[in-house]
Structure 1
Amino acid sequence: MAVLIFVRHGQSLYNLENRFTGTLDIPLTVFGREQAKIAGTKLVGYTFNIGYTSMLIRAQESLQIILEVMKVTIPIIKNKAFNERMYGTLQGLNKEETAQKYGLTQVEIWRRSYAVNPPGGESLLDTYNRVIPYYKSEIEPKLKIGQNVLIVAHGNSLRALMMYLENIDPLDIVKVDIPTGQPRVYHFNQKLQLSGVKYL
């Protein structure tokens, strides 16, 4: 049985400041690094053949910390398919101030909906359409031969993956929020059918 585990990166500086981060390359906070250490502690005892992450430093640093805590070295592949969704003109803006300007309802639609794009940015559907083809071509073949995979990425790229893995409806994914630094474990049988899922 193959195992896939994903982890949303630890708290970033813009998470702390309540800003839209998107594809801006913002580092972890001290607390974010601690979250990654805790994730690594939870993953001690698991064996991974390969790790994947995005092109953004907060995910890469989280993965590095996790592996240091686990005291393991594995091949790492960085790919933009796992980048956070691009928030367009909202990137870098404070979420509360943006809500005051455009209205809370509109900002929540931009943040949480499946198919609505923020101004100049990606929808979750757009994110899904780059994450899932990459997952199918690069990761599923490894799982099929029994390799265990670790992915450290971002809230929206992982929500897209979660939709695919758990067959979540676009209307229901709106309510899903992936916590930072908390590993989610997927077990598959030899036919790559999902046999179990949980947070550690």
Structure 2
Amino acid sequence: MSKYKLVMLRHGEGAWNIENRFCSWVDQKLSADGLKEAEECGKKLKSLGFEFDLVFTSILSRSIQTAWLVLRELDQEWVPTQSSWRLNERHYGALIGLNRAELALNHGEEQVKIWRRSYDVSPPPIAVSHPYYQEIHTDRRYTTCDIPKEILPKSESLKQVLDRLLPYWNEVIAQEIKNGKRVLISAHGNSTRALLKHLEGISDSDIVNISLPTGVPVLLELDENLHPVKPHEFLGDQEVIRAAIKKVEDQGKVKPSDN
């Protein structure tokens, strides 16, 4: 029997989502459509009667903005929010800023799928000469983390995302849920996938096929031990959600020629 309801979501669309580029730890605000997605997410949760006591976000603006807009639509702006780098998007290393479709053209769709979706393969690490290295690794927000900035990742597999996320889940988020807090996690595609893998026991091979669209709430009903009582559920128009998932999956494919 379900005792707790956990709602998770990938932030609304950002500018680099439109451009099909690996955004990762580059900090970006939501696009105009991303703002609408976050608002619609809030409206959907309100229509279903959701109330929250605590919200968790990453320390990236698109995650925080999404949470703000969702809470505004819920008339729950007063709900406390906690932010941690441990909920950040996966660090895509040297791939940051690159176009997924162009990478597929140059390296093959299968290689791009491995970089994007596999469990234990890390992209090449970001180098000091990378055009976004300084922007990311001198950002003041990373002086607030619970580990020294010097040992923050320079590239991550999904497994490494889960490894850095699990202590925060076990020691902070899970404890709040067990204390009766109704929790919303506004995070990213890969941090949410990693947590779903852990909670639902998704295999290393099957996680490759899990894609999350932007701005769509995911409901997970849990028992007293925080084990799922049924598979996760996307909340909203299922046909629209299926189309959005396909759009995410197609990002790593070669763009069809107009000829």
TMscore range, shorter length: over 0.9
Aligned to 1:174: 208
Counterpart residue type for residue 86 of structure 1: H
Aligned equivalents of 1:100 and 1:40: distance in 2? 38
Counterpart residue type for residue 61 of structure 1: Q
Corresponding pairs, count: 200
In the TM superposition, what is the alpha-carbon distance from 1:109 to its structure 2 partner?
Answer: 1.1
In the alignment, which of 102, 105, 116 is matched to residue 107 of structure 2?
Answer: 102
Aligned equivalents of 2:54 and 2:208: distance in 1? 30
Aligned to 2:147: none
Counterpart residue type for residue 114 of structure 1: Y
Conserved 8 A contact 1:116-1:123: yes
Counterpart residue type for residue 234 of structure 2: Y
Counterpart residue type for residue 151 of structure 1: I
RMSD: 1.2
Conserved 8 A contact 1:112-1:174: yes
Report the secondary structure of 2:22's partner residue.
coil
Report the secondary structure of 2:229's partner residue.
strand
In the TM superposition, what is the alpha-carbon distance from 1:190 to its structure 2 partner?
Answer: 2.9
Runs of 4+ in 1 over 4 A off after TM superposition: none
Counterpart residue type for residue 193 of structure 1: H
Aligned equivalents of 2:225 and 2:208: distance in 1? 29
Which residues of 2 match residues 20-39 of structure 1 at below 5 A? Answer: 20-39=22-41
In the TM superposition, what is the alpha-carbon distance from 1:163 to its structure 2 partner?
Answer: 0.3
Report the secondary structure of 1:192's partner residue.
coil
In the TM superposition, what is the alpha-carbon distance from 1:101 to its structure 2 partner?
Answer: 2.5
Aligned equivalents of 2:218 and 2:70: distance in 1? 14
Conserved 8 A contact 1:3-1:147: no
Deviations 1:105-152 (A, max 9, x none): 222211111101111121001101011221011011111122110000
Unaligned segments of structure 2, at least 5 residues: 126-154, 236-259
Report the secondary structure of 2:205's partner residue.
helix
Conserved 8 A contact 1:49-1:147: yes
TM-score normalised to structure 1 length: 0.96
Aligned to 1:199: 234
Instruction: Indicate yes or no: 2:160 matched with 1:160.
Output: no
Aligned equivalents of 1:193 and 1:115: distance in 2? 24
Aligned to 1:51: 55
Report the secondary structure of 1:37's partner residue.
helix
Instruction: Indicate yes or no: 2:87 matched with 1:82.
Output: yes
Counterpart residue type for residue 115 of structure 1: D
Which protein is bigger by CA-based radius of gyration? 2
Report the secondary structure of 1:51's partner residue.
strand
In the TM superposition, what is the alpha-carbon distance from 1:87 to its structure 2 partner?
Answer: 0.6
Aligned equivalents of 2:221 and 2:157: distance in 1? 29
Deviations 1:57-114 (A, max 9, x none): 1111111100011111211000000000011111011112222232222222111111
Instruction: Indicate yes or no: 2:218 matched with 1:184.
Output: yes
Aligned to 2:9: 7
Aligned equivalents of 1:164 and 1:91: distance in 2? 26
Identity, % of aligned positions: 40
Unaligned segments of structure 1, at least 5 residues: none
Of stretches 96-105 and 75-84 in structure 1, the one that deviates more from structure 2 is: 96-105
In the alignment, which of 111, 115, 131 is matched to residue 116 of structure 2?
Answer: 111
Report the secondary structure of 2:169's partner residue.
helix
Conserved 8 A contact 1:51-1:150: yes
Instruction: Indicate yes or no: 2:100 matched with 1:66.
Output: no
Structure holding more strand per residue? 1
